[in-house]
Amino acid sequence: MKHKQVNLSKNQQIVLETIRKAKKPLKAYSILSSVKKKGINAPPQVYRALEKLVELGVIHKIESKNAFVDCKNSECETSKATAFSICKKCQKITEIMNSKLSTYLTNFQDNTGMKYEKYNLEFYGLCKRCKL
């Protein structure tokens, strides 16, 4: 449950801190406006940092939202096996850390002869609060 430490460049650190401070997934341009005061002025600077952070597995992209969250799973080294739950109402997003699930999916094989190296799973529903 604790943050990973990696050697990051200045812009990468700034972007990562912004994402970690947020309680919700952040979109790239929302990050950009947050970091303008720190001297990051243009989209490519943000997107490059995001790309690297995703590669390193310290953040993940929620594909269906075009948004980024920091990884809270210390076992999740390189964003190769990710699962999220997304509340349709309040947009709360939680990374699912369930070893049975990840084992099941990591070992999953279909009949097409394809070798899977990576997966991303997104569940949608209503969170505990919004269900009431």
Nearer to a second copy, 13 or 85 (CB): 85
What's the closest the beta carbon of residue 97 comes to a second copy, in angstroms?
A: 9
Contact at 8 Å (CB) between 25 and 68? yes
Nearer to a second copy, 8 or 127 (CB): 127
Tell me the sheet residues that pair with 69: 60
CA atoms of 106 and 121, how far apart (whole Å): 12
Note the residues at the interface with DNA (CB under 7 A). Answer: 7, 9-12, 27-30, 39-45, 47-49, 51-52, 66
Tell me the sheet residues that pair with 83: 121
Classify 12 as helix, strand or coil: helix
Nearer to DNA, 49 or 71 (CB): 49
- Residues near Zn ion (CB under 5 A): 71, 73, 76, 87, 89-90, 92, 127, 130
